Amino acid sequence: MPECDILVVGAGCFGLSTALHLRRRNMGKVILLDREPLPYSDAASQDSSRIIRADYPDPFHAKLGLEAIEQWRHDSTFSPAYHQSGFLVADMPGGTFVRKSLQTQKQLGHQNVRMMDFSNIKSKWPGLSGSLDNGWDLYYNPEAGWANARQAMLSALSEFRARGGEFISGPPGALETLLFKDTESVPKVVGVRTVDGTSYHAPKVVLATGAHVIKHVKAGSMVASIGWCVAHWRLTPDQQAVWANHPVVNLHNHGYFFPPDSTGLMKMGWGIISYTNAAGPWLSVGIPTEAEHGIRHILRMVAPSLEHKEFFDMKICWDGMVGDRHFLISRVPSYDGLVVACGGSGHGFKFLPIIGRYVADLIESKLDSEYEQRWAWREQHIEALTGAMKGRLVKELADVVLGARL
């Protein structure tokens, strides 16, 4: 019956960051549990590359993003995984994301972000030889970039272990149920039992199981499990020379792709349609045919030389989606001793170096009131799908045709 001071369940972005910051503060014995060793295949935080940006219309997320970028640059655990390639984002005619994000960045003192037109883009980055000339707004931020997600996660895990933290994976780390002690007021969470029958006891438990949190906490419609489709391809040496020094490209709400890594690997994520899987489990089983077609369509628009590349490692990455896209970092009102940290909502990974600091603040009862209010338990006020996915389609996997497999 292992015991510890704080038990963190889930070694994704939020859980691992929390465990690391707890040990950085020397907050007693910390055990981190997960059903699989790192890295694993079906979580958004375990993918090959993730966008690191502070480009948001609202100042709250923009400031948080700037704080995170500083740590990506200067924290030795994370900086080797970070690439400041720049970030180019396009918004459809009539959209507001680009212009509002530009305004927010300038209000925060970042004057080198700028609007661009596609003719300038083609001359600066020859790989982007398509056309978005029909009224799209284009915005470039040279201070953003991308991170190798696997590298960053493994580095964080290494530091956590070096600081005395214990990571347990496989059946002994796979959550089966919370353990409770009845009290006169609300049930008190005193630990967890894993699928192999091991019971772990701790006075404080952090549930950071991402899209799986709804299996263990009655979150109603507050958190939904959403899958996003990605595909990878590899460049030839000649193509890699052309694509050197290109930025991350994001067609807002449509799709995004990354410049090549040192091996010529590129990745694109498709954003027009996302998926649920009511039958479960939320496994990466290849992607729907329509998603592959959608990815190729966007490449044809923006980077036509890549449209017919041979795709591989096509998969669905799952995340917990919250309706207002603010995270869920809160004590659970119906339980004593339980904190949830989840709801990455498709944009949480960039905060890996810092998000655990805020969870630790909550555990120590010193989280700033603004953060506490934004990330509070708020089930009665939002609905996960109609809020976060407004304007985009969400389909059930059972209703679509699956194409390529892993």
> Over 70: is that where the pLDDT of 374 sits?
yes
| Domains with residue ranges and CATH for the chain | 6-396 (3.50.50.60)
pLDDT value at position 281? 57
What does the pLDDT average to over 235-240? 96
pLDDT value at position 284? 63
| Per-range mean pLDDT, top range of 42-56, 274-288, 347-361 | 347-361
pLDDT value at position 400? 84
Give the residue among 313, 321, 323, 324 at the shortest CA–CA distance from 229: 313
CA–CA distance, 16 with 357 (Å, rounded to integer):
11
What does the pLDDT average to over 204-229? 84
pLDDT value at position 41? 55
CA–CA distance, 60 with 138 (Å, rounded to integer):
23
- Between 55-69, 122-136, 384-398, the lowest mean confidence (pLDDT) is in 384-398
pLDDT value at position 273? 87
Q: How confident is the model at residue 62 (pLDDT cuts 50, 70, 90)?
A: very high
Q: Does residue 139 contact residue 102 with C-beta atoms inside 8 Å?
A: yes
DSSP-derived pairing of the beta strands 145-147 and 137-141:
unpaired
Q: Please report the DSSP string for 354-401 in residue order.
A: HHHHHHHHHHTT---HHHHHHTS--GGG--HHHHHTTTSEEEEGGGS-
Q: Please report the DSSP string for 192-228 in residue order.
A: EEETTS-EEE-SEEEE--GGGGGGTS--TTSEEEEEE
Going by the DSSP 8-state scheme, the letter that residue 171 receives in this structure is G
In sign, the C-alpha dihedral spanning 62, 67, 72, 74 is positive
Q: How confident is the model at residue 29 (pLDDT cuts 50, 70, 90)?
A: very high
CA–CA distance, 71 with 154 (Å, rounded to integer):
16
Q: How confident is the model at residue 278 (pLDDT cuts 50, 70, 90)?
A: low
Q: How confident is the model at residue 365 (pLDDT cuts 50, 70, 90)?
A: very high
> Over 80: is that where the pLDDT of 148 sits?
yes
Query: 372 phi and psi, to 5 degrees?
Result: -60, -40
pTM of the prediction? 0.93
Q: What would the two tokens of residue 381 be?
A: 């006020």
> Over 90: is that where the pLDDT of 357 sits?
yes
pLDDT value at position 322? 85
At 157, is the secondary structure helix, strand, or coil? helix
Model confidence pLDDT, tens digit, residues 159-188: 999 999 999 999 999 999 999 997 767 889
> Over 60: is that where the pLDDT of 358 sits?
yes
What does the pLDDT average to over 50-70? 97
Q: How confident is the prediction for the chain on average, in pLDDT?
A: 90
> Over 80: is that where the pLDDT of 220 sits?
no
> Over 90: is that where the pLDDT of 131 sits?
no
> Over 90: is that where the pLDDT of 277 sits?
no
To the nearest whole percent, how much of the chain has pLDDT over 70? 90
> Over 50: is that where the pLDDT of 406 sits?
no
pLDDT value at position 217? 85
- SS3 of the chain: helix, strand, coil, percent, to 5: 30, 30, 40
Model confidence pLDDT, tens digit, residues 286-317: 899 999 999 999 999 999 999 999 999 999 98
> Over 80: is that where the pLDDT of 221 sits?
no
> Strand pairing partners for 326?
none
Dihedral in degrees, nearest 10, Cα atoms 107, 111, 112, 118: 60
